[in-house]
């Protein structure tokens, strides 16, 4: 469109805006556009919530016998079945995230002695490849990601979603920059782009999540928040299955 055409359109809009009926018409169109955006956003939230509740509820029901067996095995050492930990959710709100306990009962007390083994000591997150506090059954649960399954209850309660940035610890969030806090603008999830190793947005892309450092995790989380959709969530859920099975 050339400059003369742009100038003509600008003058036309100015004349309309100066007319009382024209102003009313412009305001009406603006309000209608805003209402459509709100409706679209509300619909997307409802659809995402329906997906969360349907999949989480069905999985809990179908695999309840497996979860009962896991609970009995975990309980054998006399400790609690579930590990509860404060995590940061949407917009900085905190909630109690659930996991099957995969560590020894005194794991929190021994945290100081293993801090020197942190593979990401120069960053925000904490990770130890062969944590000595992890129990025998805990290693199996972590390898298969079965320790994360109680978080389906967090999904049912609305504190988490099936897909979204992984929930961070309060002490990690305290070290976030303003840019990194953008990943808090969505409900945390069970899985996400970097959890399945998706870095370039490929439909069939599944990679090694251990190769993705924290700054890239943040970038991928923000990209997901900006591009999230029902079909995007379904695709990431489906890609999580082979990612877990093949240990990527």
Distance CA 167, CA 153 (A): 15
Tokens in use for 142?
Answer: 């972590």
Per-residue pLDDT of 86-134, as tens digits, reads 999 999 999 999 999 999 888 777 777 776 666 655 566 767 777 888 8
Q: Is 222 exposed, middle or buried (0-12, 13-18, 19+ CB in 10 A)?
A: middle
Residue with structure tokens 């093949």?
Answer: 246
| Domain range summary for the chain, segments of one domain joined by + | 43-245
Report CA-CA distances (Å) from 19 to 9, 23, 80, 176, 223: 16, 6, 72, 50, 43
Which pLDDT score is estimated for 38? Answer: 62
pLDDT at 210 over 90: no
Which pLDDT score is estimated for 110? Answer: 75
Nearest Cα neighbor of 190 from 239, 227, 223 is: 239
Nearest Cα neighbor of 220 from 242, 236, 238 is: 236
Average model confidence (pLDDT) for the chain? 85
| Most confident range, picked from 18-22, 36-40, 104-108, 139-143 | 139-143
| Mean pLDDT calculated for residue range 145-167 | 96
């Amino acid at each position: 469109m050339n400059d003369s055409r742009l100038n003509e359109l600008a003058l036309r809009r100015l004349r309309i805006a100066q007319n009382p009926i024209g102003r009313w018409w412009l305001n009406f169109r603006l309000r209608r556009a805003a209402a459509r955006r709100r409706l679209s956003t509300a619909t997307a939230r409802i659809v995402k919530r329906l997906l969360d509740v349907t999949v989480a509820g069905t999985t809990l029901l179908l695999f309840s016998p497996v979860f009962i067996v896991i609970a009995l095995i975990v309980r054998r050492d006399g400790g609690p079945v579930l590990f509860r930990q404060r995590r940061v959710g949407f917009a900085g709100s905190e909630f109690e995230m659930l996991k099957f306990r995969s560590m020894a009962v005194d794991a929190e007390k021994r945290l100081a002695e293993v801090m020197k083994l942190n593979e990401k000591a120069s960053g925000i997150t904490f990770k130890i490849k062969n944590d000595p506090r992890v129990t025998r059954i805990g290693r199996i649960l972590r390898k298969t990601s079965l320790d994360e399954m109680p978080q389906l209850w967090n999904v049912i309660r609305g504190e988490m979603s099936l897909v979204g940035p992984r929930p961070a610890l309060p002490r990690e969030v305290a070290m976030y920059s303003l840019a990194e806090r953008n990943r808090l603008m969505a409900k945390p999830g069970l899985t996400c782009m970097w959890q399945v190793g998706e870095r370039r947005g490929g439909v069939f892309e599944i990679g090694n999540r251990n190769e993705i450092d924290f700054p890239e995790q943040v970038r991928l989380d923000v990209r997901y928040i900006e591009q999230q959709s029902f079909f995007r969530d379904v695709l990431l859920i489906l890609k999580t299955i082979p990612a877990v099975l093949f240990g990527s």
